[in-house]
Structure 1
Amino acid sequence: MKIWDSFVRGYHWLLVIAIAGLWWTAEQGYMDWHMRIALAVGALLLARVVWALIGSENARFTAFVHRPQKVVEHLRDVQRKNYQPTATHNPAGGWAVLLMWALLFVQVTTGLFATDEIFFSGPLASLVSSSTQGQLTDLHEINFNVLLTVIALHVLAILLYRMKGVNLLSAMVHGKRQNVRPPRLVNGLFGWTLAAVIAASAYYFWW
């Protein structure tokens, strides 16, 4: 049965592509494209946060954010191979999602003020002093390394769950999972429309 709408799944895989694109464009010095991709990431992130309030039942904060005690219990169940996947993120995964969102928010926000002091400055860099620009640029670079570390841990966690007999990846590909209560899904087209409106607004104001 279907548990993930098209927007949640598409958002996930577009982020994978976009983060790789952000790294490559920064390394190659293609800063115009770097900023375009960053604005797209920002639009996806904002739309996903809104989706966590009004979107599909299992994509909402109320479905996947649990007390720390639940996380501990969940990890014990995984260790004992007693864990059965549900129709949303598991308790540990829910907090991982929040951490990833926070890091992405910091990355996009600091990028708006970052500068290389020669060829490129973010669209909001002129609003702050040169020293603040430098500090935010440093934070932008440090945070990206932290983000990559968290992504690596995320991939490792998926592999460890797989070793415990839990396949977390497949549902994010085809959107289906067996033997769970089907959640109330909202048409993903609404999420895509919201992301497109946010992205178009950003490009209109900054390009």
Structure 2
Amino acid sequence: MKMEKVWDPAVRFFHWSQLLLLAGLWYTGTEGLMEWHQLLAYSLAAVLLARICWGLYGSPSARFHRFAASPLKAWRYLRQPQAVMGHNPASSYMIFALLLLVLLQFISGLMTTDHIFTDGPLVRYVSSDTVSLATRWHKVGIDVLLIAVAVHVAAALWHSRRHHNVIMGMLHGKLRAVPGQSAQPLKNSWSYFVLVVIFWLGFYWWQGADLIRMLSF
């Protein structure tokens, strides 16, 4: 069985780190560990922003315009699923939805307050109506995001059983070769990880140092 390299280290790192960080954010938010919650949020934002950049210039299988599909094409795929060397037309909508939901969750968190102990760093700069809207969305948004993740996981399990083992593919980057399709060469991922570090250091300089100082007390 011939295997071809489809996903580069940048895509795979983002995929699994996003899952772990979302789990950590849910737990710390539920338990009221707000300093840790914010630190994890900045870490997730760093890998997310770097992934958005990578989606513009990275490996062919990572670029948004390469796997974005029309609603008609996605619908046709859902009616007749098949193995695809990369993201399939239907999964592209879930990928964009997850990216948008995570981004909205992060932005709303910056303007969220619990009116007791914790204010997001942008609360002082926006109107009370904006803070109220952001706070309401941040509470509801995590549930919407977790539902989307559950649907994504269920679809990946189904697809792995019926067509391509995409779950293992996201671990080692390889998929079973499909006749008539060929995986395109992958780019070196070093610049993605450089972007992650740059964004993370930016968030650390902006807010992270104060949060770590608070944790030390």
TM-score normalised by structure 2 residue count: 0.89
2:189 maps to 188
How far 1:162 moved relative to its partner? 3.2
Q: How does 1:53-92 map to 2 (within 5 A)?
A: 53-78=56-81, 83-86=82-85, 88-92=86-90
How far 1:70 moved relative to its partner? 1.1
How far 1:184 moved relative to its partner? 2.3
1:48 maps to 51
Cα deviations by residue, 1:158-200 (Å, 9 ceiling, x for unpaired) = 2222342432211101101121512221111210111110111
How far 1:41 moved relative to its partner? 1.0
CA distance in 2, matches of 1:65, 1:35: 32
1:177 partner amino acid: L
CA distance in 2, matches of 1:132, 1:71: 35
Q: How does 1:22-171 map to 2 (within 5 A)?
A: 22-78=25-81, 83-86=82-85, 88-171=86-169
In the alignment, structure 2 segments of 5+ residues that lack a partner are 209-217
2:42 partner amino acid: L
Secondary structure at the counterpart of residue 177 of structure 1:
strand
CA distance in 2, matches of 1:163, 1:8: 22
Cα deviations by residue, 1:92-121 (Å, 9 ceiling, x for unpaired) = 111110000110110000000101111111
What number of residue pairs does the alignment pair up? 202
Is 2:6 aligned against 1:3?
Answer: yes
1:197 partner amino acid: I
2:215 maps to none
- Which stretches of structure 1, 4 residues or longer, exceed 3 Å deviation after superposition? none
Secondary structure at the counterpart of residue 87 of structure 2:
coil
CA distance in 2, matches of 1:177, 1:164: 14
Match of 1:19 among 6, 9, 22: 22
Cα deviations by residue, 1:11-46 (Å, 9 ceiling, x for unpaired) = 100011000000111111111110111011111111
TM-score normalised by structure 1 residue count: 0.93
2:157 partner amino acid: L
Secondary structure at the counterpart of residue 118 of structure 1:
coil
1:37 partner amino acid: L
How far 1:206 moved relative to its partner? 2.1
CA distance in 2, matches of 1:184, 1:46: 23
In the alignment, structure 1 segments of 5+ residues that lack a partner are none
CA distance in 1, matches of 2:193, 2:49: 11
